[in-house]
Amino acid sequence: RMTSAEVIDLAQQHLTPNYTRYPVCLVRGDGSWVWDAEGTRYLDFFPGWGCGILGHCPPRVVEAVREQIGQLIHVPNTWYTEPQALLGQALADRTGFGGVSFFCNSGTEAIEAAIKLARLNGKPKGRYKVVTMTDSFHGRTMGALSATAQPKYHAGVGPMLPGFTYAAYGDLAAAEAAVDSETAAILLEPIQGEGGINLPPAGYLEGLRELCDRHGLLLMFDEVQAGMGRTGKWFGHQHWAVRPDVFTLAKALAGGIAMGGIVATPEVGAKLVTGTHAATFGGNPVAARAALATIETIEDEGLLDRAVQVGERFRAHFLALKDRCPLVSDVRIKGTMIGLQLAVEGAPVVQKCLDRGLLINCTHQTVIRL
Ligand code: PLP
């Protein structure tokens, strides 16, 4: 096996430099722990950028993938497979409104599907625009990037796709002002992740639902980060009495295997008629089995309740920290979606934790995200 230094040197020669990488090369993971080639162990508080919701190599997911990969790796959506059908059912059973699913391979692709669905749904009325929120993050492909209302991500790669209007997150009046006769949908993360773990103010999501109903718009939630049990409910929006027309999933959906998807009400999902959309690997049996195993694990091990307990434990610790440390200015938590707002840059904190064997994330410059 190569040493960490050898791998890092090779990667720096042969990979594009688009990622901020720390000089750590990982070879193995188990639960909350990962190891490098030299045997150094790290405690991982941000597994897989949010994909490792069950930790590293969760046994049931590993077993399901092993079994499936020896049986049938991939067939296109020309054919039916049992794992994909069962996954559609498993998600529908947990939405509270049924729903139909389309599967793809990442969060940004899920957003592309949602944008397309909004346009297909709005087309008869001449509606194609999507209202999104400041500090949102929806992905890096051009549609999802245009939906992402953060100028730093648009720098140098414009022009953006037409048809996106931005409103301040949390400001209902701003959302209303952004709607016009060509608006097809409102798209937002119910709890913003990359933007700094921002929770919606009281009445905000309910107000957006009412706004959408009044204007005949789709309400679309990006659940890529908040979904799949992280916040203590299957989907983040279920903390509020608001039903979306469409929501997206990815990251934790398949317990660490690449997978994305959208769930739509049957009525809206029906607009994605034959030929309007596709993904070659979308819903492949390996990813679908991994997702089913993820759902079973969350259910059988009571992990929705566990997420709430973990969140409360961190809240108690971090509020105590806030009382005695002026560098901590706010604590924002929903289950295991945990944000610690600092009054200073977070990068040195990430480095200090790394030096002590703890992997954490800093987002939006000043928010420690676990
Ligand atoms: N939507 C949200 C809320 C996200 O947090 C992310 C990624 O961080 C994405 C979409 C894009 O997902 P992916 O990186 O899988 O394309």
pLDDT per position as a tens digit, 86-101? 999 999 999 999 999 9
338: tokens are 């945990």
Distance 48 CA to ligand 1 centre (A): 12
For the stretch 250-263, pLDDT in tens is: 999 999 999 999 99
Banded model confidence at residue 45, pLDDT cuts 50, 70, 90: very high
Pocket test of ligand 1: the residue of 148, 251, 257 to mutate, having most ligand atoms within 8 Å of its CB, is 251
361: tokens are 């994330």
- Ligand 1 environment, Cβ below 6 A: 106-108, 111, 137-139, 189, 193-194, 222, 224-225, 250
Nearest CA to ligand 1 atom 1: 138
Backbone angles phi, psi at 227, to 5 degrees: -80, 175
pLDDT of residue 245: 98
Helix (H, G, I), strand (E, B) or coil at 347: helix
Helix (H, G, I), strand (E, B) or coil at 265: coil
Banded model confidence at residue 80, pLDDT cuts 50, 70, 90: very high
pLDDT of residue 136: 98
User: Which atom of ligand 1 approaches the CA of 251 most closely?
Assistant: 15
Banded model confidence at residue 188, pLDDT cuts 50, 70, 90: very high
Helix (H, G, I), strand (E, B) or coil at 353: helix
Q: Looking at this protein, which amino acid is placed at residue 10?
A: L
Backbone angles phi, psi at 143, to 5 degrees: -70, -50
Kindly report whether the peptide bond that precedes residue 124 is cis, defined as omega within 30 degrees of 0. Answer: no
Nearest 5 degrees, angle CA 161-CA 246-CA 108?
Answer: 45
Nearest CA to ligand 1 atom 12: 107
pTM: 0.98
What are the CA-CA distances from residue 243 to residues 6, 88, 231, 238, 356 (Å)? 51, 18, 17, 8, 43
Q: Where are the alpha helices (DSSP H) in 128-200?
A: 142-147, 151-154, 172-178
352: tokens are 């200090």
Kindly report whether the peptide bond that precedes residue 83 is cis, defined as omega within 30 degrees of 0. Answer: no
For the stretch 340-356, pLDDT in tens is: 999 999 999 999 999 99
Banded model confidence at residue 330, pLDDT cuts 50, 70, 90: very high
Percentage with pLDDT > 70 across the chain? 100
Distance 195 CA to ligand 1 centre (A): 11
User: Which atom of ligand 1 approaches the CA of 109 most closely?
Assistant: 16
Mean of the pLDDT values across residues 23-51? Answer: 97
pLDDT of residue 151: 97
pLDDT of residue 244: 98
| Residues 6+ positions from 41 with CB-CB distance below 8 Å | 33, 34, 35, 357
Whole-number average pLDDT of the chain: 98
Distance 144 CA to ligand 1 centre (A): 9
What are the CA-CA distances from residue 92 to residues 149, 201, 213, 247, 263 (Å)? 30, 28, 22, 12, 8
Pocket test of ligand 1: the residue of 225, 259, 334, 367 to mutate, having most ligand atoms within 8 Å of its CB, is 225
Distance 140 CA to ligand 1 centre (A): 8
Banded model confidence at residue 150, pLDDT cuts 50, 70, 90: very high
pLDDT of residue 367: 98
